[in-house]
Amino acid sequence: MAPDLPPPPAFPGAIVPAPKPPAPTASVDSYALVGTALGLRGIPYRNGGSDPTGFDCSGFTQYVFAQYGVVLPRDVRSQFRFGTPIEPNQLAPGDLVFFTTTNPDVSHVAIAIGGDEFVHAPSTWGTVRVEHLGTSYWSQRYVGARRVN
């Protein structure tokens, strides 16, 4: 769907209002979304992958949300700027969880599934799997979380 664009200026030099931001996405059933994500466990990591033949982390999150009509940006940093920031104690199933793994900036994304667990497409030797936020590896690398809907 094309964004609503303002009409052309009535005369040269007229101020044109900025286009309207996209309408908020409809609410997604977070438990269904988590079920979809969990159903992809075992799929291999593939750098640049964004479909069930192989996923990288942001391709995985983008694919899962797309199944519910939510269009996420493709890369981790852009996904980190998408949605509403939430505090760790507000984390709920379906929230995006972000980490710093390969550089000092945000570099990895996963989907919270409840409790202290998340599902993600880890590095080159991994497959889509569930892990715990509370482990020393992930807790030390946690950067933040976003709620998409």
List, for residues 62-103, the tens digit of each pLDDT value.
999 999 999 999 999 999 999 999 999 999 999 999 999 988
- Residue 149 CA to residue 28 CA, distance in Å, equals 7
Catalytic pick among 61, 113, 120, 128: 120
Tell whether 69 is covered by a domain: yes
Angle at 77 between CA 74 and CA 80, to 5 degrees: 95
pLDDT digits 0-9 by tens, 21-65: 344 445 889 999 999 999 999 999 999 999 999 999 999 999 999
Catalytic pick among 37, 40, 57, 148: 57
- DSSP letter for 144, please: E
Phi first, then psi: what are they for 102, rounded to 5°? Answer: -110, -10
pLDDT digits 0-9 by tens, 106-134: 999 999 999 999 999 998 789 999 999 99
Enumerate the β-bridge partners of residue 144: 98
Tell whether 116 is covered by a domain: yes
Which residue, chain included where needed, has tokens 């998408």?
A: 82
User: Structure pTM?
Assistant: 0.82
Active site residue 132: no
Active site residue 108: yes
Catalytic pick among 45, 94, 108, 148: 108
Which residue, chain included where needed, has tokens 């991994």?
A: 126
CATH, residue 87:
3.90.1720.10
Tell whether 39 is covered by a domain: yes
- Residue 120 CA to residue 81 CA, distance in Å, equals 19
